[in-house]
Structure 1
Amino acid sequence: MLQIADWLDGLALGRKASPGIEAVLHVLHSDTGPASFMSTQDVATRANVNVATVVRAAQFLGFSGWSALKSELRHRYLASLTAEKLLNERPFPASGLAGTSLALDAQNMARLAAGASAEQIARAAAILASASRTIVLATGSYAAAGFQLAHMGQWMGRDIELHTASGTSLVNRLRMMAPGDVLVSCNLWRASKFVAEVVRVAEQRGVRILAIADRQTGITDVAEEALIVPSEGVTFMPSTVGAVAIVQALLAELASIDPARTMAALRDTEELWSELDLVDPA
């Protein structure tokens, strides 16, 4: 938890807080895991302050309110746990796990819909549209969201390529990228050091960076646009629903930027499908 404590201290920037805010910050430092799941009232009770002080504490740290701070705190806490520790914290219930998973993903989607900025998604799509070449770097479960972005982007006639692992092929592709090209990092939960290093090198070479993440990280700090999505899942599995949903929104915006180009690419694809007899008419 030292990294989370350092993060909280960094947000405070050495400023003097009121006794009430200090009491809230003490709860966050000393009981990070449980606090990341508490309501405003629960935190207030634990800190022996009122709910308004909890909100002011969140604002003191640079957030709009407790909900925004809790989401960031929770994702940082979950990212600090191994899969085994996640399972220990959330053991399998006797029944109802499927329903719990669906309900949690519904909450994730509601949280994303309430917090996502349509203007930011449009800006990110414009960055993709401006690039001659785009690499999507996605690892583990989140390769699914990366695959959707690359596959549907290619369908629209965009040069978007997915890479899911380190190696010489990625180095070769990175070397061929020019200033103004785009690298999309889709890196959530226990973020990969390798992805962070590739992003650092790419940014130094003039490549524009977009990030899909579940919290603020070193990658989001250098990204022109960072799309933050919820990833909390049931038991040991982080959810991919938020990442896929934000990719869908990004693709919708991308398709609308140059409708004539999009339509021409789709028409060409349909003709190739027909020529190669790929689609089952049934």
Structure 2
Amino acid sequence: MSEPASTPTTLDALTARMIAEMDALPRRLADGARYLIDHPDDVVISSMREIAARAGVAPATLVRLARSFGFADWSQMRALYTEHLRTVPARYADKARAAVESDKAGGLMAETFRAQEASLAFAAQVNPPEAFTEAARTLAHAKRVYVAAFMSCRGPGLTFTYLCKMLRPNVELLGGEGSSLVADLSMLEPGDAVLSINFQPYGREIAQVAEAVQRSGADLISLSDSRATPLQAQARTVLLYSAESPSFFPSIVSAVALVESLAGAILAELRDTATDRINRIEEQLYASGSYQHSRRSKS
């Protein structure tokens, strides 16, 4: 019989445990854990009742969550978050978000634009350069690239597919017109890469993608609003963006910014190969009349 895991002594260790055990947790405990993973500062500045309300669980659920990871009570687990907050600077995105909250008089448009600025700042701040570089390298050199983006994430997925096809061959959007997701996923092989774009609540397709990646041995790059998505265990690299919005619907602005930045990084990775491909495609677009005006002749 295996011995129970020791109680985490740092926030990083606790977060890693939560992510690793997420699938085994009861649903309500998983909801609480996911909120704590993505909002660690809230644990310090908000009451347990406030955190529970934001996570959509009962306060007692957070107590059970703490005990499930070996802590005597909520306050003992909260102490890890307090200690961690003392050692890290405040995130710029948090400051920007606070500014949004403090200025409600500017109207919905101004509030929305400020929230989008905050989400862009968050994406720039939270993603380590090495993770971004690793994601671009994987997508640049994969045998084939498949893009998994459904429902509201279809927009960023289409943008990445269009841009990446300008840079390299064998780039496809999963479940596109004239195909099916099941058929597309059955083609995954080692050496392929999947770029997944998603945010909560996650569609049922994400489970199919996770299963296919695990079965095939393909690499997975995950763009998500959370570190604790169902794809976490299979992801080679995780890049985060914020979907928070003052509107009724989550924002995809920072997801679009991430895929555009990834396309630029892939271009830098492939260099002359990608540049030559862009030139050929551009010449064909002009020659076919796809552009309304003739290309200006070189002097």
TM-score surpassing 0.5?
yes
Deviations 1:148-200 (A, max 9, x none): 11100001123211135799622222222221101111111211122222222
Residues 171, 156 of structure 1: CA spacing in aligned structure 2 closer, same or farther, 3 A cutoff? same
Q: Which residue of 2 aligns with 1:248?
A: 260
User: Which residue, 189, 196, 205 being the options, matches 1:185?
Assistant: 196
User: Which residue, 226, 230, 235 being the options, matches 1:223?
Assistant: 235
Q: Which residue of 1 aligns with 2:138?
A: 127
User: Which residue, 203, 216, 219 being the options, matches 1:208?
Assistant: 219
Structure 1 residue 176 corresponds to structure 2 residue 187: yes
Give the Cα–Cα distance (whole angstroms) in 2 for the partners of residues 23 and 108 of structure 1. Answer: 21
Q: Which residue of 1 aligns with 2:70?
A: none
Give the Cα–Cα distance (whole angstroms) in 1 for the partners of residues 181 and 269 of structure 2. Answer: 29
Residues 229, 11 of structure 1: CA spacing in aligned structure 2 closer, same or farther, 3 A cutoff? closer
Residues 196, 28 of structure 1: CA spacing in aligned structure 2 closer, same or farther, 3 A cutoff? farther
How much does 1:222 deviate? 1.6
Residues 190, 30 of structure 1: CA spacing in aligned structure 2 closer, same or farther, 3 A cutoff? closer
2:81 maps to amino acid: A
2:270 maps to amino acid: D
Deviations 1:91-121 (A, max 9, x none): xx99811111111101111222222222111
Secondary structure class of the residue paired with 1:220: coil
Structure 1 residue 32 corresponds to structure 2 residue 43: no
Give the Cα–Cα distance (whole angstroms) in 1 for the partners of residues 265 and 273 of structure 2. Answer: 13
Residues 59, 152 of structure 1: CA spacing in aligned structure 2 closer, same or farther, 3 A cutoff? farther
1:1-282 matches, within 5 Å, as: 3=27, 5-6=29-30, 8=32, 26-27=48-49, 30-32=52-54, 56-58=79-81, 96-163=107-174, 169-215=180-226, 216-281=228-293
Secondary structure class of the residue paired with 1:281: coil
TM-score (norm 1): 0.70
Give the Cα–Cα distance (whole angstroms) in 2 for the partners of residues 266 and 63 of structure 1. Answer: 49
Instruction: Check whether the contact 1:183–1:208 (CA below 8 A) recurs between aligned residues.
Output: yes
Instruction: Check whether the contact 1:139–1:165 (CA below 8 A) recurs between aligned residues.
Output: no
Gaps of 5+ in 2: 1-25, 37-42, 57-75, 95-103, 295-299
RMSD: 3.8
2:230 maps to amino acid: G
Secondary structure class of the residue paired with 1:192: coil
Residues 4, 98 of structure 1: CA spacing in aligned structure 2 closer, same or farther, 3 A cutoff? farther
Give the Cα–Cα distance (whole angstroms) in 1 for the partners of residues 198 and 263 of structure 2. Answer: 18
Deviations 1:197-228 (A, max 9, x none): 22222222111111110002121232000111
Instruction: Check whether the contact 2:31–2:55 (CA below 8 A) recurs between aligned residues.
Output: no
How much does 1:67 deviate? 6.4
TM-score (norm 2): 0.67
Instruction: Check whether the contact 1:140–1:164 (CA below 8 A) recurs between aligned residues.
Output: no
How much does 1:56 deviate? 4.5
Residues 235, 145 of structure 1: CA spacing in aligned structure 2 closer, same or farther, 3 A cutoff? same
How much does 1:23 deviate? 11
Give the Cα–Cα distance (whole angstroms) in 2 for the partners of residues 123 and 240 of structure 1. Answer: 22
105-114 or 224-233, which moves further after superposition?
A: 105-114
Instruction: Check whether the contact 2:196–2:221 (CA below 8 A) recurs between aligned residues.
Output: yes
Q: Which residue of 1 aligns with 2:71?
A: none
